[in-house]
Amino acid sequence: MSDLNKLEASLSELIGSENVLRDEDMKEHTSFKIGGKADLFLDVDQIEHIKPCIDLIKASGAAYYVVGNGSNLLVSDDGFRGVIVKVGQKCAGYSFEEDGDKVKVKVSAGMSLIGLSRLAADKAYSGLEFAAGIPGTIGGALAMNAGAYGSEMKEITLKARVLDSQGEIVELYGEELGLRYRGSAIADQAMIVLDAELELEKGDKAQIEAKIKENMDSRKEKQPLEYPNAGSTFKRPEGYIAAKLIQDTGLKGFSIGGAQVSEKHAGFIVNKGGASARDVLQLTDIVAGAVEGMTGVSLELEIKKVGM
């Protein structure tokens, strides 16, 4: 019996064989719709199982990578040799607790950011309007300090419970989270978010709904939502706007294979159909090289590369 078979059997015993998939096609689990097969794919069934799953994987010596909704990932065409651990909808949960004008939100890592923002709006709780169109989970949103329209997770996060790289469950408060533009101590130190506590405020439901509609209308107008993509391809260079730099190179609409610099928003690379990870990487290299050659500004990828 191979080591992978033994690991599969152990994980199946822990979380059920229906949640442990062999040779799973990763293009089915990323918003880019790109990626080869993972040796094993775990759809973790509850938060309490994350630590024992990771303990089993580490003990086996297998490589692993934790994902949420796969909304900012580029997975290798060759897939992932090891275990992809999904902390998604099966690990979603939330509760609201009012305290005067403040509202504390306890939320599990697999909860959809879009779903939580919708629930908050329905209760007239303000603070998550910016997140209404961000297609990630709470865990992923904290790891990258997700933000939009001038707001970010840092502004509403009180604390998070995480599994650290040593396999210990710890709580991080405020500045300990290291939340910054598209980064955090969570990502830096390969921690896994288990759950978090956010703070919202009571507000006016009509105003909250209007703000969400304004943000969503802007997103639909400006972003290439009609094609698979992984969100903003590059981080915003200090003092510049990545999309403007790319557009100025004349590469808007340029394509390699099925990957294209969006004709709608140059900050996005989209999958026009059948794009490979190789297509995307070649395209990002050309774009970054053109921008640096023209302006001297280095672009850093915001999308995360997996298996490469």
Q: What share of the chain is helix, strand, coil (3-state, %, to 5)?
A: 35, 30, 35
- CA quadruple 132, 138, 140, 143: dihedral positive or negative? positive
> Active site residue: 31, 108, 232, 262, which one?
232
**DSSP secondary structure letters along 192-255:** EEEEEEEEEEE--HHHHHHHHHHHHHHHHHHS-TTS-B-S-SBPPPTTS-HHHHHHHTT-TT-E
Query: What stretch of H or E contains 264?
Result: none
Strands 157-163 and 80-86: unpaired
In the residue annotation, 232 being an active-site residue is answered as yes
155, 176, 263, 302: the active-site residue? 302
Selection from 94, 191, 176 nearest residue 140 by Cα: 191
Active site includes 182? yes
Per annotation, catalytic residue among 182, 184, 262, 276? 182
Instruction: Report the largest interatomic distance among the alpha carbons of the chain, rounded to a whole angstrom.
Output: 61
- d(CA 141, CA 5) in angstroms, rounded, equals 33
For every residue of 43-111, DSSP letters joined together read: E--SGGGHHHHHHHHHHHT--EEEESS-TTEEE-TT-EEEEEEE--GGG--EEEEEETTEEEEEEETTS
Instruction: Return left, alpha or beta for 100; rule: phi > 0 is left, psi -120 to 50 is alpha, else beta.
Output: left
At a CB cut-off of 8 Å and minimum separation 6, what does 118 contact?
Answer: 132
Instruction: Cite the active site residues.
Output: 182, 232, 302
